[in-house]
Amino acid sequence: MSGQLKRAHVIIPAHNEAERIGDVIEVARQANPDSVVTDNIIVVDNDSNDGTNRAARLAGAHTILACGRLGKGWAMRCAANYIDQSLQERGPLLFLDADLRNLQPEHVTRLARPVIEGNALMTIGCLGTRSRLSKSAYDYWGALSGQRCVSRASFNALRESDFEAWRIEGALNAVHRNAGMGRAIQRVELDGVSHIGQFEKNGYIQGTVNYARIYLSGLRGLMSTSALPGSGSEHNHQPALLDFPPLLR
């Protein structure tokens, strides 16, 4: 893989993150403009009721509504649709969570650069310290991380079911593993970065329920049979994009 590609578009799916999303947007806007489209950060408001949309716009982002079907995967897909339908520059997709702490502009640039330079098909941003066992698991399965930059070929290889709930992160990992291209994924250490956990947001009981849903959904995504085209492992299915329009807010 080689050759300079178009710059990465920053996409931030968000649900009730009014208190935190402005900081993430501000950091993304300070990333290297040679690698990242910094003047059109895209926030997908996924049915928020706390003013997330207004906070994102005040921070300088372009906001759109999730397209009728709630969930992180559908929000990410909606943003990709918007880029394909409305923007001339259709580069890789760089996803960030809306609740990150201590994110720095160089983290965003480091996520984007291997993909836009053609040295990786996907990067995955890893938070915090991990054991040797977890690192070995990440090397094979890939991390279930909301911080990643994805080539359009990788994103377009997803099938309809991969967008349900939180499956998409695991499914993106599976797309490469099923094609025998796990080495096309680069892990990027995001030193010092953390995010607001479900316990802090929702309390212990609801947080436990949410974590169970997230990880179960992610594991289902890891079982996806989607694969990059040309690998001999892919199934015939329609492209993931352009089957419904985004709703601007």
Tell me the domains of the chain and their CATH numbers: 8-225 (3.90.550.10)
Q: Which two tokens stand for residue 202?
A: 């929702």
> What is the reported pLDDT for 209?
74
For 248, counting Cβ atoms within 10 Å of its Cβ (0-12 exposed, 13-18 middle, 19+ buried), the class is exposed
Q: Could you tell me where the DSSP H helices lie in 157-197? A: 167-178
Report which DSSP code applies to 118.
T
The dihedral of CA 92, 100, 69, 122: what is its sign? positive
Q: Say what the pLDDT of residue 60 is.
A: 95
Nearest by Cα to 106 from 13, 169, 192: 192
Q: Is the pLDDT of residue 51 over 70?
A: yes
d(CA 179, CA 228): 6
Q: Kindly state the DSSP code that residue 199 receives in the 8-state scheme.
A: H
CB burial string 193-205: b at 16+ within 10 A, e below: bebeebeebeeee
- Taking the C-alpha atoms of residue 46 and residue 141, their distance in angstroms, rounded to an integer, is 27
pTM (predicted TM-score):
0.83
Q: Round to whole Å and give the CA distance between 244 and 74.
A: 11
Is residue 142 a contact partner of residue 124, using CB atoms and an 8 Å limit?
A: yes
Tens-digit pLDDT profile for residues 187-246: 899 999 987 766 777 677 876 776 677 667 666 666 777 777 654 444 444 444 434 444
Q: Which of 165, 185, 189 is nearest to 177 (CA)?
A: 185
Q: How far apart are CA 220 and CA 207, in angstroms?
A: 20
Please, which pLDDT band fits residue 46 given cuts at 50, 70 and 90? confident
Q: CB-based contacts of 70: which residues, under 8 Å, 6+ apart?
A: 46, 47
Share of the chain above pLDDT 90, in %: 43
Look at residue 91 and give its three-state secondary structure. Answer: coil
Q: pLDDT of 54-109, one tens digit each?
A: 999 999 999 997 755 578 888 999 999 999 988 878 899 999 999 999 999 999 99
Whole-angstrom Cα distance, residue 130 to residue 138?
A: 10
